[in-house]
Amino acid sequence: MRFAVTSQEMKICDRNTAEYFGIGTAVLMERASLAIADEIIKWKERRGASRKYSVLVLSGVGNNGGDGICAGRILFQQDFNVVNCVIGDMTKCSDLMLRQLNIAGNYGIPSDTFSNIRDNKRPGDFDIIIDAMFGIGLSRPLTGDSLEAVSFIAACKKERENDLLVLSVDIPSGINADTGQILGDAVKADMTVTFNFAKLGHLFYPGCEYSGNVVIRDVGITVAGFLDKTPGFIWYDGEPAALLPERKKDGNKGTNGKVLIVAGSKDISGACILAASAALRAGAGMVRIFTASENAEAVKTLLPEALLDVYEDFEPIEDKLRAACKWSTQAVLGPGIGTLGKGRELVITMLRDYDKSLVVDADALNLIAQEPELMELAQNYCTGGKRMILTPHLGEFARLCHKSVGECKENLIKYPAELAKSMHATVICKDARSVVADGNEKKSYINVSGNDGMATAGSGDVLAGVLGALLTEEMTGFEVACAGAYIHGRAGDVAADKLGKYAVAATDIVESISKVLH
């Protein structure tokens, strides 16, 4: 796991590195600029070009601009043609920015005004544009020359396409570093070089799209710079299997987890099959499906590995369900059970009587959101070592929070932690970038795996099944949720690579789990 930071957290870390540990800001700027220049030189080398490349450095008046000017000077010394252009009020230049401009002038690097570049240069005149106009501190919409500069960069890119490299320093100008939102307009970079830690704006949409390939370079700013207050978010992009405990070589189907899947209804058969299939693919030793009798033939045909308990719509289900609960070591509740008919009876029985850890999904979440009695049972569920993972998509999440979807989307860095605390549980708020929070954890997790091809019916049922399989005693609820979300997303990525995003179905995600965990 790696830290992802807010702009304020990064500023504090920078300041502590300079003032507490004594590494000067000028030293850090030189290191950052060397990293930027190195990435540009490697890009040129990959192209096998021998001619001299032309670089336009668009710099603001702060230290981010200083990084750009400094990187341009290093490239100039490596035989690139470089033109510097400062956008903003020169009287407001930071001391380091002025120092870098003076150094560049001493080396004879030419400067130009943006108006002259905009009016007299052709978009094809540059091979590389370094966007160093604004760093991570931007909080207001772009205006004036900075806004026009974004349009100019876009025009250059339209003409040159892949022959032009647009590289942003730290974060694309116009992207909010804390939310990923666009502030009026924003540079769409091919590559963003940032330093030591990803920023939240690199991970959340649309900032992640505008950032292009995010390269995190070490310039000597370490976790020690946070002193006693580490960042509030983590993320992961490594191997999925590394998130899981080692499987016991002397284990058996009983010791690898007996997962009860309480899912499906007389009108919906697919949800229980998808959840159960995913649980088996994710390592469950045994799976038992508790569903409406109408689904029996489909389950027997499509998933012969699963045990099966069925109920009739007219009969009481408590005794049957309790027997299935006693057999299990963990359970999944909710996919496709419906909010009418037997749905409420299933939910109240599980929340009231189940004595093991539980994944709660889909219709079970909607029932909890609309009934105070069920909400109270859910809030009091995690006692005696029991864990509960809630998996709402944004609409279900909004209903649980009693807020609008729009408000919840704008507050993804805050609301999941608040809900997790109030529910005394783990929450996965499912969105293009899912956020995992836990009532007992100080950090939240941002999931960066997955793709828009996974926005398909049954994808959430697959996630619920994966979580059910992982919900053993060897991992905390938070660890299970982080690993499950990541594995699910990676399986979706494998499916999309094979089939294309338009063609991905939930069954393809299930089938790809084995490739992710091989």
**What pLDDT does 120 receive?**
83
Closest C-alpha to 370, from 394, 346, 339? 339
- Please give the model's pTM, rounded to 2 decimal places: 0.94
Give CA separation, 85 vs 112, 137, 186, in Å. Answer: 5, 20, 18
CA distance 12 to 57: 27
**What pLDDT does 50 receive?**
83
With a cut of 90, say whether residue 165 has pLDDT above it: yes
Domains and CATH numbers, the chain: 2-235 (3.40.50.10260), 253-431+441-516 (3.40.1190.20)
The DSSP line for 71-111 is HHHHHHHTT-EEEEEE-S-GGG--HHHHHHHHHHHHTT--B
The DSSP line for 272-335 is HHHHHHHHHHTT-SEEEEEEEGGGHHHHHHH-TTSEEEEE-TTS--HHHHHHHHHH-SEEEE-T
In this prediction, residues 212-232 reach a mean pLDDT of: 95
pLDDT digits over 41-90, tens only?
Answer: 999 999 988 899 999 999 999 999 999 999 999 999 999 999 999 999 99
Q: How confident is the model at residue 163 (pLDDT cuts 50, 70, 90)?
A: very high
**What pLDDT does 322 receive?**
96
Share of the chain above pLDDT 90, in %: 93
**What pLDDT does 77 receive?**
97
Residues near 192 by Cβ (< 8 Å), separated by ≥ 6? 167, 168, 169, 170, 171, 172, 202, 211, 212, 213, 214, 215
**What pLDDT does 119 receive?**
86
Task: Classify 393 as helix, strand or coil.
Answer: strand
**What pLDDT does 247 receive?**
82
Give the torsion through C-alpha atoms of 499, 500, 502, 504, to 10 deg: 40
With a cut of 80, say whether residue 123 has pLDDT above it: no
Beta bridge partners of 444: 233
Residue 168 tokens, joined: 């942003």
**What pLDDT does 518 receive?**
83
Q: How confident is the model at residue 232 (pLDDT cuts 50, 70, 90)?
A: very high
**What pLDDT does 284 receive?**
95
**What pLDDT does 34 receive?**
98
**What pLDDT does 128 receive?**
98
**What pLDDT does 252 receive?**
77
CA distance 149 to 117: 10
**What pLDDT does 425 receive?**
98
Mean predicted lDDT score pLDDT of the chain = 95
CA distance 458 to 179: 29
pLDDT digits over 259-280, tens only?
Answer: 999 999 999 999 999 999 999 9
Q: How confident is the model at residue 485 (pLDDT cuts 50, 70, 90)?
A: very high
Residue 153 tokens, joined: 């960069």
**What pLDDT does 348 receive?**
97
Q: Are strands 435-438 and 444-446 parallel, antiparallel or unpaired?
A: antiparallel
pLDDT digits over 440-463, tens only?
Answer: 999 999 999 999 999 999 999 999
Residue pair 366/396 in contact by the 8 Å Cβ criterion? yes
In this prediction, residues 319-344 reach a mean pLDDT of: 96
